[in-house]
Amino acid sequence: MEEMDYPLEELIPLVAGLAEGYTGYEHSSITYEKAEMLMGAVLYCINECRMQGGDQVSAGRMPAKEAYRIGQKIVIQKVKKLHRLYNDLILDFRDYGLECLRDTIVKGMPQFLQRYDVRYAPQETLLILDYPILEDLGTMSGIDAVLTYVECICKEQRLLREYDDIYVLETLRAYHPEYEILVENISSIIAAAGAERPSSVDIVF
């Protein structure tokens, strides 16, 4: 996350507003750790606004309150997109016996969708993305990291479905007799085995 050019005088009122809601409006006293978390939430949303072409944000010309409001809407839109993608993905999801892939998508992703805190902690990823994908998530966190991750999984699933399931399973077994416990990318194993990717599929990782 890039550092914003907003002075603390603009950011602190936003954090204070979140603190009131976080404590149920009974009091605004919170620990340093919680204050740091809420400041992270504010900066994360402002950064979302900036990443969507908000040059005024980078230059500090848009009020922090407005940038935060826009950014939070973007976060909410991304969460809705993740829900749609995951619902479509899980209908015909195939883990090919790989435990880390199954655990991440079938077990971990629903927990993320249930626990992700759009308002108070959008910067938290919550989920350990054990199954390796063919794209570097870099410094991404929160919904940005998880949404990008699921998009990559969707692409990989479409690619792997171009091959017969038996072929994929036999290739994985030939790669390692106990491939199920490995933490490796399936499509990389298939590619390393010399399989030709179907020309009808245009997948870019």
Q: Are 148 and 140 in contact (CB under 8 A)?
A: yes
pLDDT tens string 70-105: 999 999 999 999 999 999 999 999 999 999 999 999
pTM of the entire structure?
A: 0.87
Predicted confidence at residue 78, as pLDDT, reads: 98
Q: Are 18 and 45 in contact (CB under 8 A)?
A: no
Q: What is the DSSP string of the chain?
A: -PPP---HHHHHHHHHHHHHHHTTTS-----HHHHHHHHHHHHHHHHHHHHTT-HHHHTT-S-HHHHHHHHHHHHHHHHHHHHHHHHHHHHT---TT-HHHHIIIIIIHHHHHHH--TTT-TT---S---S--SS--TT--HHHHHHHHHHHHHHHHHHHTTS-HHHHHHHHHHH-TTGGG----HHHHHHHTTPPPPTT-----
Task: Report CA-CA distances (Å) from 132 to 6, 42, 101, 157, 159.
Answer: 36, 30, 9, 14, 16
State how far the Cα of 125 lies from the Cα of 138, in Å rounded to an integer.
Answer: 13
pLDDT tens string 142-199: 999 999 999 999 999 999 999 999 999 999 999 999 999 999 999 999 998 874 444 4
Q: What average pLDDT is seen over the chain?
A: 89
Phi/psi of residue 27, nearest 5 degrees: -160, 165
- Name the more confident of 6 and 185: 185
Look up tokens 């959008």; give the residue: 122
Q: pLDDT band at 54, cuts 50/70/90? A: low
